[in-house]
Amino acid sequence: MRVKRGVAAHKKHQKIRSLTKGMTRSNRSSIKRGRQATIKALQFSYRDRRNKKRELRSLWNTRINAAARINGISYSQLISKLKLSNIILDRKILSELATNYPDSFKTIVETATKKK
């Protein structure tokens, strides 16, 4: 008996078309170009999820450094003194405090830098 592949092929093509919504004309209408564009888009999204984390950490460090210098200490000295005084706050939280709650950040800096 002869097997017609129309339904299976149509299903495969619809899957690719649903993944290429929002892309430019040729990537959307051509199955071959759509498949290539989808693979590339997935590669970019995987890579950029990691790059996003890298860029955010850099932003946090910049914000902490700016706030630390306002309080008369450099970024590296602040991080070192925080570790020595057993204040466990990650850079994301420190950045949030530095930008939105400068009084709290100042208190943390003073606590870390006071001599024992």
> 2 lies in a domain?
no
**CATH number of the domain where residue 98 is located:** 1.10.1900.20
> 27 lies in a domain?
yes
Q: Is 80 helix (H, G, I), strand (E, B) or coil?
A: helix
pLDDT in tens, 19-52: 999 999 999 999 999 999 999 999 999 999 999 9
Continuous segment of H or E residues that includes residue 19 = helix 6-19
User: What is the overall mean pLDDT for the chain?
Assistant: 95
pLDDT in tens, 7-21: 989 999 999 999 999
Nearest to 60 by CA among 29, 86, 94, 27: 94
Residue 116 pLDDT exceeds 70? no
> 80 lies in a domain?
yes
Question: What is the rounded distance in angstroms from the CA atom of residue 97 to the CA atom of residue 113?
Answer: 17
Q: Decide: pTM greater than 0.75.
A: yes
Number of structural domains, the chain?
Answer: 1
> 3 lies in a domain?
no
- Domain range for residue 54? 9-113
